[in-house]
């Protein structure tokens, strides 16, 4: 594929890997967090970590929008889906995420009309095609997907589609990063910044990381060469004693972000005082809800949602795993109560979560080290 | 005291155990060919019927004392017509292929149709013709049948079930236990065409591409392999639901071996690769209806591949990997980029990723 394969060139990959190997100090163990689930996916898909020196470790961050949805929100979604006359729509990945009493996929099997969509506009289309039904869109994602939800809501209002509403679970990227950085036991040397989110918010929101916490950030693209390049750039910063935000993904990310997208988000959404993250608990000003101007399209106001907070199971230690404080196998429920088939915490939900990855590949990874 | 070693042991013990069927209801995931399907088959069906042949969990049941293999399959594809084929053609090829990869020459088929009230007679007629055509091409006779009609809304146009019987080929020495470290892994053609053709023909993605289903009978391919490799052909599987990835995972587990695939060697149509890229799918997990995976002893792999490539429709057959001894039960992929990854069994439907 033109303009794709170029960023997956094995020879250039080996050259970058050699540069990285030359740049690391033997004896120093480097921990870099890739914030975005998209990066984690690429790292597995292409086996990027296989090309890294043994003393460079990638820590998978909290940037998988599906995995961070807490049980209580899934339960609320299922409650709405079971309301008579409702067609409940969501992205496919969301269907498997467990609530306290099953997933949306299981709710569908139990009779709820739950449909997978690929874009919020698909949900709006379903609403227009079924005027006698109430169509609810379960919106998830960081700033990457929030603008498309916002545009859909604007269109729904402009076209007067009365049977459409949105259960908003959009979240913002900076507060959870700050929460991670504030924890005293954090052990990270630098961040691979989220490329997709940055196309919307730009590079500036990440400047607090070098300024307040003294950790370098390199915003990166999603091809394997992008990721290796970003690691190379972080190592160069450490080596040269610099600490700043750099943009490796210049072909897509403007420093200022996408102003029109930010504008439409500001019109449609407002910050919630606090929002719960699976594994991380409540983080203030980290979630979005519909603004007063769009309240009539807010599914949480249109339907009676239980709104019960379901605590993460006590034994679940996703927070510590995310911060790199403990390894997945050190968690008390890992591999026994919490498995990929029946996940408890965020790190086990998606196959890219740190725990799911370790569950599947753990022995193999250790043997590789031994070799 | 939990040590890392102990935790890894717990995981391995859990993995080695038969999957249990513990779900409260059947979900769509139970039909996707991945872990949920496996838990239903291994945890519910196999123990209930306690049949030696069923325990093999092959594509067809083998009755050696009668010299036959028998298999059954139901077809519920939506839409019933798609680029490159239709439900009728699939109903024949799907069943004869399960026989072919079990080393049995397909001989007879039974046909059972569940029709929805209100179905256009022309649609039924065209599927009957498709079945007749496909049977002729597969050199198999339709020898018995049954029809039921259900009220409107109870079957999506039509469902078809076929049962096939084949005679065991004397050259065949096939079994999962026959797979050995060192065996080469061959695929008989491009992967992912069928699943991608169906996905795009549903029109949900607004993606247009000229991708056609690969539905075809595989006996000629099996025949050529048996001829070229004889008892060096250790095992064959039809890579349908869950794709090539699911086949190699099942066999790695069943035979307690490791499998290593070379991603760059796997033949994929550029349009399928492009669509898979956009949808966030891996073509190795996408369904085929005319691709088999064969395990051949290294010394005969070259002849086997040449023989396979001379079969019409299998020109793009390729050697895609090798069987290893360690780590048992696992499938590793050497990526085109030069890294490695573990390719696990599918969990749930291959739904497009959102991030």
pLDDT tens per residue, range A53-84: 999 988 888 777 888 888 899 999 999 999 99
Is B1 touching A (CB cutoff 8 A)? no
A2 neighbourhood in chain B, CB within 8 Å: none
Q: Looking at the predicted structure, is the pLDDT value of residue A320 above 90?
A: no
Residue A361: closest CA among chain B residues belongs to which residue?
B342
Inter-chain residue contact A116 with B351, CB threshold 8 Å: yes
Inter-chain residue contact A360 with B342, CB threshold 8 Å: yes
A48 neighbourhood in chain B, CB within 8 Å: 337, 339
Interface of B with A in 213-232 (CB under 8 A): none
Residues A304 and A323: their CA atoms lie apart, in Å, by 36
Residues A334 and A329: their CA atoms lie apart, in Å, by 6
Shortest Cα distance, chain A CAs vs residue B337, angstroms: 4
Adjacent-strand bridge partners of A32: A58, A190
Shortest Cα distance, chain B CAs vs residue A357, angstroms: 9
B297 neighbors B229 (Cβ within 8 angstroms):
yes
DSSP secondary structure string, A5-24? GGGG-HHHHHHHHHHHHHHS
A58 neighbors A43 (Cβ within 8 angstroms):
yes
B269 neighbourhood in chain A, CB within 8 Å: none
Can you give the pTM of this predicted structure? 0.86
B205 neighbourhood in chain A, CB within 8 Å: 118
Domain boundaries, chain A: 1-312, 318-370
Identify the pLDDT of residue A362: 65
Q: Looking at the predicted structure, is the pLDDT value of residue A210 above 90?
A: yes
Q: pLDDT tens digits for chain B (355 residues)?
A: 678 888 888 887 777 677 788 888 888 888 877 778 888 988 899 889 888 877 777 889 999 999 999 999 999 998 899 999 999 999 999 999 999 999 999 999 999 999 999 999 999 999 999 999 999 999 999 999 999 999 999 988 999 999 999 999 999 999 999 999 999 999 999 999 999 999 888 877 777 788 999 999 999 999 999 999 999 999 999 999 889 999 999 999 889 999 999 999 999 999 999 999 888 889 999 999 999 999 999 999 999 999 999 999 999 999 999 999 988 888 999 998 988 888 887 765 554 333 3
A358 neighbourhood in chain B, CB within 8 Å: none
Residue B327: closest CA among chain A residues belongs to which residue?
A364
Residue A328's nearest CA partner among A341, A317, A336 is A317
Architecture of domain B176-342: Alpha-Beta Complex (3.90)
Answer yes or no: is the ipTM higher than 0.90.
no
Inter-chain residue contact A13 with B338, CB threshold 8 Å: yes
Residues A353 and A59: their CA atoms lie apart, in Å, by 10
Is B353 touching A (CB cutoff 8 A)? yes
Residue A91's nearest CA partner among A141, A19, A142, A50 is A141
Shortest Cα distance, chain A CAs vs residue B131, angstroms: 32
Interface of B with A in 159-188 (CB under 8 A): none
DSSP secondary structure string, A141-172? ESTTTHHHHHHHHHHHHHTT-TTEEEEEEEB-
Which residues neighbour A184 within 8 Å (Cβ) at sequence distance 6 or greater?
none
Is B335 touching A (CB cutoff 8 A)? yes
Which of B38, B42, B337, B353 is most worth mutating to test chain A (most A CB atoms within 10 A of its CB)?
B337
Which of B1, B18, B339 is most worth mutating to test chain A (most A CB atoms within 10 A of its CB)?
B339
Inter-chain residue contact A37 with B355, CB threshold 8 Å: yes
A141 neighbourhood in chain B, CB within 8 Å: 354-355
Shortest Cα distance, chain B CAs vs residue A105, angstroms: 7
Domain boundaries, chain B: 59-169, 176-342
Inter-chain residue contact A105 with B352, CB threshold 8 Å: no
Neighbours of B58 (CB within 10 A): 22
Residues A320 and A333: their CA atoms lie apart, in Å, by 13
Return the exposure string of B298-320: e unless at least 16 CB atoms fall within 10 Å of the residue's CB, then b.
eebbebbbebbbebebbebbbbb
Residues B117 and B12: their CA atoms lie apart, in Å, by 50
- C-alpha B24, offset from chain centre: 27
> Would you call A357 exposed, middle or buried from its count of C-beta atoms within 10 A (0-12, 13-18, 19+)?
buried
Name the residue facing A336 among B10, B339, B347 (closest C-beta).
B10
Query: Which of residues A325 and A150 earns the better pLDDT score?
Result: A150
Superfamily of domain B59-169: PurM-like, N-terminal domain (3.30.1330.10)
A211 neighbors A270 (Cβ within 8 angstroms):
no
Shortest Cα distance, chain B CAs vs residue A51, angstroms: 6
Inter-chain residue contact A8 with B337, CB threshold 8 Å: yes
A334 neighbourhood in chain B, CB within 8 Å: 7
CATH class of A1-312: alpha beta
Residue A49: closest CA among chain B residues belongs to which residue?
B339
Neighbours of A84 (CB within 10 A): 6
DSSP secondary structure string, B63-119? ETTTTEEEEEEEE--SSSEETTEEHHHHHHHHHHHHHHTTTEEEEEEEEEEEEETT-
A93 neighbors A66 (Cβ within 8 angstroms):
yes
B282 neighbourhood in chain A, CB within 8 Å: 45
Inter-chain residue contact A335 with B14, CB threshold 8 Å: yes
């Amino acid at each position: 594929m033109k303009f794709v394969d170029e960023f997956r060139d094995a020879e250039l990959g080996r050259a970058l890997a050699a540069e990285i190997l030359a740049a690391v100090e033997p004896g120093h163990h480097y921990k870099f967090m890739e914030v975005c689930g998209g990066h984690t996916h690429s790292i597995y898909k292409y086996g990027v970590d296989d090309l890294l020196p043994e003393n460079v470790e990638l820590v998978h961050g909290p940037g998988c929008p599906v995995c961070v949805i807490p049980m209580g929100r899934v339960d609320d979604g299922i409650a709405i889906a079971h309301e008579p006359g409702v067609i409940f729509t969501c992205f496919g990945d969301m269907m498997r995420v467990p609530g306290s009493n099953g997933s949306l996929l299981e709710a569908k099997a139990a009779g709820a009309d739950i449909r997978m969509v690929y874009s919020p506009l698909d949900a709006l289309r379903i609403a227009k095609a079924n005027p006698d039904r109430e169509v609810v869109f379960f919106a998830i994602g960081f700033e990457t997907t929030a603008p498309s939800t916002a545009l859909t809501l604007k269109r729904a209002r402009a076209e007067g589609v009365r049977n459409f509403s949105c259960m908003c679970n959009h979240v913002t990227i900076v507060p959870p990063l700050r929460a991670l950085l504030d924890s005293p036991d954090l052990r990270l040397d630098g961040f691979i910044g989220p490329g997709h989110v940055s196309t919307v918010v730009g590079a500036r929101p990440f400047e607090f990381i070098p300024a307040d916490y003294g950790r370098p950030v390199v915003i990166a693209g999603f091809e394997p060469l992008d990721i290796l390049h970003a690691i190379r750039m972080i190592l160069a910063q450490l080596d040269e004693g610099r600490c700043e935000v750099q943009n490796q993904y210049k072909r897509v990310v403007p420093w200022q972000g996408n102003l029109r997208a930010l504008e439409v988000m500001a019109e449609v959404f407002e910050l919630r005082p606090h929002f719960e993250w699976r594994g991380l608990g409540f983080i203030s000003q980290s979630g979005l809800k519909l603004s007063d101007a769009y309240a009539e399209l807010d599914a949480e106001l249109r339907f009676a949602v239980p709104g019960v907070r379901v605590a993460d199971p006590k034994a679940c230690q996703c927070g510590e795993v995310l911060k790199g404080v403990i390894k997945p196998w050190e968690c008390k429920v890992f591999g026994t109560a919490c498995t990929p088939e029946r996940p408890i915490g965020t790190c086990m939900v998606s196959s890219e979560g740190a725990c799911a990855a370790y569950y599947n590949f753990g022995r193999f990874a250790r043997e590789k080290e031994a070799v | 005291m939990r040590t890392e070693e102990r935790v890894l042991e717990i995981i391995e013990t859990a993995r080695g155990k038969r999957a249990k069927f513990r779900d409260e209801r059947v979900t769509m995931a139970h039909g996707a060919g991945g872990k949920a399907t496996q838990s239903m088959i291994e945890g519910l069906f196999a123990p209930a019927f306690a049949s030696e042949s069923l325990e093999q969990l092959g594509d067809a049941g083998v009755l050696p004392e009668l010299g036959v293999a028998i298999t059954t399959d139901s077809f519920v594809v939506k839409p019933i017509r798609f680029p490159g084929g239709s439900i009728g053609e699939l109903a024949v090829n799907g069943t004869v292929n399960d026989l072919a990869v079990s080393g049995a020459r397909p001989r007879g088929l039974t046909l059972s149709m569940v029709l929805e009230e209100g179905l256009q007679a022309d649609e039924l007629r065209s599927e009957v013709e498709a079945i007749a055509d496909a049977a002729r091409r597969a050199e198999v006779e339709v020898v018995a049948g049954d029809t039921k009609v259900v009220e409107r809304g109870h079957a999506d146009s039509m469902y078809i079930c076929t049962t096939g019987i084949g005679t065991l080929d004397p050259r065949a020495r096939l079994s999962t236990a026959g797979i050995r470290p060192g065996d080469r892994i061959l695929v008989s053609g491009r992967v992912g065409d069928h699943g991608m053709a169906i996905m795009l023909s549903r029109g949900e993605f607004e993606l247009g591409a000229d991708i056609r289903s690969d539905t075809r009978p595989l006996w000629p391919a099996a025949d050529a392999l048996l001829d070229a490799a004889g008892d060096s052909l250790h095992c064959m599987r039809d890579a349908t639901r869950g794709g090539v990835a699911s086949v190699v995972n099942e066999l790695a587990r069943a035979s307690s071996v490791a499998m290593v695939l070379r991603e760059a060697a796997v033949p994929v149509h550029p349009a399928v690769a492009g669509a898979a890229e956009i949808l966030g799918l891996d073509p190795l997990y996408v369904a085929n209806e005319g691709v088999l995976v064969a395990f051949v002893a290294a010394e005969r792999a070259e002849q086997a591949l040449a023989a396979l490539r001379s079969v019409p429709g299998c020109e793009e057959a390729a050697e895609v990997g090798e069987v290893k001894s360690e780590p048992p039960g696992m499938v590793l992929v050497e990526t085109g980029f030069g890294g490695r990854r573990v390719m696990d069994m599918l969990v749930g439907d291959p739904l497009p990723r959102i991030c």
